[in-house]
Amino acid sequence: MGIFAVLDERQDAEAEQRARRIRAAVPIEPLRSTVSVVLLEGPEHVAAIAWEMFNYAYRVLEDPDAHGRMVGAMDAFTVAARSHLNGGD
């Protein structure tokens, strides 16, 4: 293993450590509250996406891949919610 590979691994580890600290500092309680309202009042398909989004947000600390899935769910939620609010259901 060359010196550049060792440096790359160290930088990757440091970046992952910073990302974990940032994710730990972001509260998900506001998202939980919002999802609760959507589950009670929203159409089922929008509520299902909201629940999926919350589950990924909850798992982000343990599963780095959950972040990408959460972002995808956020995009899907935005599209579905906008369609519903604009009468497109």
Q: What is the pLDDT along the chain (89 residues), one digit of tens a residue?
A: 566 565 677 777 787 777 777 777 888 889 889 999 999 998 999 999 999 999 988 888 778 788 889 899 999 999 999 999 898 76
Print the domain residue range for 62.
3-85
How many domains does one find in the chain? 1
Q: Which of 66, 79, 24, 70 is nearest to 51 (CA)?
A: 70
State whether the Cα torsion 80-83-86-89 is positive or negative: negative
Query: Cβ–Cβ contacts within 10 Å for residue 81, how many?
Result: 16
Cα end-to-end distance, the chain, whole Å: 56
Query: Cβ–Cβ contacts within 10 Å for residue 72, how many?
Result: 13
**Residue 17 identity (one-letter amino acid):** Q
